[in-house]
Amino acid sequence: MSVPLRLLLASASPRRRELVGLLGIPVICEPADIDESSLPGEAPGCHVLRVARAKAARVARGHAESPVLAADTTVVVGDTILGKPRDREAARAMLALLSGRTHSVLTAMCLMWGGHVASHLEPATVTFRKLDAALIDWYLASGEGDDKAGAYAVQGLAGALITRVEGNVQAVIGLPLAPLLDLFQKVGIETTAAGAALTLRVQNPS
């Protein structure tokens, strides 16, 4: 029987690690230090796919023996990409922009292993209630959105600001699990159950 594969997660995000952990897959995090700025005229979907692939490629260089998973999430209002706020005032401006309207969230995943590359783009939409200055101040004081795209975390206190999520809420959090299982298959990895956990192994030749 083949030796189980170890998954490398090219991310420092505790939320993404927790989501992979729900599957019971052993994972080691190795953040990828890359420039995540968007390119002039780059569409939001193309941006997150490119960044996710760049993160995976950076970590995969030194780990040919392990599959590498990377993801990138962005918030989009109209044609404007909202990344992580540089400071509290930028976060305040983002929340004011999101107030009382519906916006898009895009999460891209890229999995690299054995010379194979598979990517997936998962969209969702989020609707915010109307936010007054006091509510924005309350949320900013929590610090929860300081390092989050769009300056909020749907799984945390921001749940009090959000009236509706359409699509896979895990895409808003940062790593949708259902399409992740498909990515494993596409690069030649099978997932087998071991009690309540999943084990990653090389697919048997058909």
Residues 61-105 pLDDT 10s: 988 889 999 999 999 998 889 989 999 999 999 999 999 999 999
Q: How confident is the model at residue 123, as a pLDDT?
A: 97
Higher pLDDT, 110 or 64: 110
- CA–CA separation, 17 and 36 (whole Å): 20
Buried b (16+ CB within 10 A) or exposed e, 15-38: bbeebbeebebebebbebeeebeb
177-198 mean pLDDT: 92
198, pLDDT greater than 80: yes
3-13 mean pLDDT: 90
Helix then strand then coil, in percent of the chain rounded to 5, is 35, 30, 35
134-145 mean pLDDT: 96
Q: How confident is the model at residue 205, as a pLDDT?
A: 52
CATH of domain 7-202: 3.90.950.10
147 catalytically annotated: no
**Mean pLDDT rounded to a whole number for the chain:** 93
Reported as a single tens digit per residue, the pLDDT across 31-48 is 998 988 889 989 999 999
1, pLDDT greater than 60: no
Instruction: Report residue 2's pLDDT band, with 50, 70 and 90 as the boundaries.
Output: low
Q: How far is CA 8 from CA 28, 57, 60, 144, in A?
A: 5, 12, 9, 26
152, pLDDT greater than 60: yes
With beta carbons less than 8 A apart as the criterion, state whether 113 and 66 touch: yes
Query: Which of 35, 72, 132, 147 is flagged as catalytic?
Result: 72
Q: How confident is the model at residue 186, as a pLDDT?
A: 96
Q: How confident is the model at residue 195, as a pLDDT?
A: 84
